[in-house]
Amino acid sequence: MLYRARLLECRDSLSITFPRKNILLYFPQDSISYSLQNGDEILFSAHLSPPSNSSKFDTFDYARYLIHKTISGIGFVKKGDWIVTTHHSHRSLRQIALKCQEKILSFYTQLGFQDDELAVLAALTVGYKEELSKEIRESYSISGASHVLALSGLHIGLLYGLLFFILKRIPGNTIGIRLFRTTVILIILWGFAFITGLSPSVVRSVIMFSLFALSEFRTGKYIPMNILAAAALLMLLYNPCWAFDVGFQLSFCAVAAILLFQSRFYQMWKVDNRLLKYFWGITTVSVAAQIGVTPLILLYFSRFSVYFILTNLFVIALVSGIMYAAIVMLMASPLPVISYFAASIVGKLIKVLNYTVRWIEQLPYASIDNVHVHPLEVFILYLIILFWLCYWQFRKAKYVISLLVCILAICCFHAIPF
């Protein structure tokens, strides 16, 4: 069994040090190691080695990945070489949050959720992905729906949108009313982040939407890209290693692309019908986000999901329904009749969601695999996107020339052996 631990004290024959570093510990699978919980303090004897790759032929640089995750050592602890000295000795805010997450998962089990339904619900609502099977992960990946399983901007955006819609119904626009709206939004957003275990992806999204809410309170007008840049700066000041986190890169590139492209795409077709408006809005958001993340997805996952627009048309609507019904289910936990009724709705929606994802996965040419790109190509692809946007905005020939030069550079990169 693998656990992430904080090394508080290190002893050898000559000295005692207090490194306070993050490490990974492997334990034999038994009832004792399985019973370990967050906050437990243990005393163990093992050799700690720095992160390294198992083979020079590995395509994935596991050592660098661990270093970017602030993991400085790995140890294998044998049976009998460790004991628990104190239970729950370090009750940090994150550990209390993880305890809340465990209680919610236990509540889901009591309501009758199990197998894939429980796994998807846990991932969507509290960011717990340990129960997701390899098959369900692969289905969501091929269909282009993996982003809904990673609790982040989409889910926080749905919650923020619901709160904004409800609180806007309060009459008046005085400072007191605006302060009340903003305070309620911040409390609920950070409360949601807390019960999901304060995972980095959720905290990133909550910081971003908190800045949006504060800007709305202060002036009512703001430049979204400035808010996005401020959120990124604050997070990197707190933890510079997040710059190397794939989730960090994908989320900010997706949001930036949505802010830059979505409104332009949406204005290309004027729609009066409400239903068509919804589908057109989802389509433009999906295309804009895909433009922003495709180079990174090709770099890290070597896969492109062909039917991402079709997937998002169904998935976003279903996830919205699941999120809102799950909120009712949790809020009505003291009222079993209402919570069980909401749970039945959530269960049916998750079944439809999983069926839809598997159906799209089965479509011919659902994904293009083994598309390998070099980091330099990723940089050039983003330059192409930038020059295309500049030409769209300013209509100057120099941007077209720059775009064509970048395309030529991509072609040369593949034609000329390095």
Q: Are residues 143 and 181 in the same domain?
A: yes
| The three-state (H, E, C) secondary structure of the chain, written as one string | CEEEEEECCEECCCCEECCCEEEEEECCCCHHHHCCCCCCEEEECCCEECCCCCCCCCCCCHHHHHHHCCEEEEEECCCCCEEEEECCCCCCHHHHHHHHHHHHHHHHHHCCCCHHHHHHHHHHHHCCCCCCCHHHHHHHHHHCCHHHHCCCHHHHHHHHHHHHHHHCCCCCCCHHHHHHHHHHHHHHHHHHHHHCCCCHHHHHHHHHHHHHHHHHHHCCCCCHHHHHHHHHHHHHHHCHHHHHCHHHHHHHHHHHHHHHHHHHHHCCCCCCCHHHHHHHHHHHHHHHHHHHHHHHHHHHHCEEECCHHHHHHHHHHHHHHHHHHHHHHHHCCCCHHHHHHHHHHHHHHHHHHHHHHHHHHHCCCCEEECCCCCHHHHHHHHHHHHHHHHHHHHCCHHHHHHHHHHHHHHHHHHHCCC
Number of domains in the chain: 3
Q: Are residues 198 and 289 in the same domain?
A: yes
Task: Quote the domain boundaries for residue 399.
Answer: 375-415
Q: So what's the pLDDT on residue 329?
A: 93
Q: Which of 44, 64, 91 is the last residue of a domain?
A: 91
Q: Are residues 21 and 117 in the same domain?
A: no
Q: So what's the pLDDT on residue 167?
A: 87
Q: So what's the pLDDT on residue 158?
A: 84
Q: Are residues 239 and 201 in the same domain?
A: yes
Tell me the whole-structure pTM to 2 decimals.
Answer: 0.82
Q: Which of 65, 91, 117 is the last residue of a domain?
A: 91
Q: Which of 353, 369, 385 is the last residue of a domain?
A: 369
Q: Are residues 51 and 185 in the same domain?
A: no
Q: Are residues 46 and 165 in the same domain?
A: no
Q: Are residues 356 and 294 in the same domain?
A: yes
Q: Are residues 126 and 69 in the same domain?
A: no
Exposure string for 295-310, b = 16+ CB within 10 A, e = fewer:
bbbbbeeebebbbbbb
Q: So what's the pLDDT on residue 90?
A: 58
Considering only CA atoms, which of 296, 274, 388, 350 is closest in space to residue 122?
350
Q: So what's the pLDDT on residue 355?
A: 95
Q: So what's the pLDDT on residue 363?
A: 93
The amino acid occupying position 100 is: C
> In the numeric block, which tokens belong to residue 287?
């295309």
Q: Are residues 163 and 304 in the same domain?
A: yes
Q: Are residues 189 and 51 in the same domain?
A: no
- Domain at 84, CATH number: 2.40.50
Residues in the chain with pLDDT < 70? 54-60, 88-91, 219-221, 417-418
Residues 196-245: pLDDT tens digits?
A: 777 777 888 898 889 888 887 776 667 888 888 988 898 899 888 888 88
Q: Are residues 86 and 103 in the same domain?
A: no
Q: Are residues 360 and 379 in the same domain?
A: no
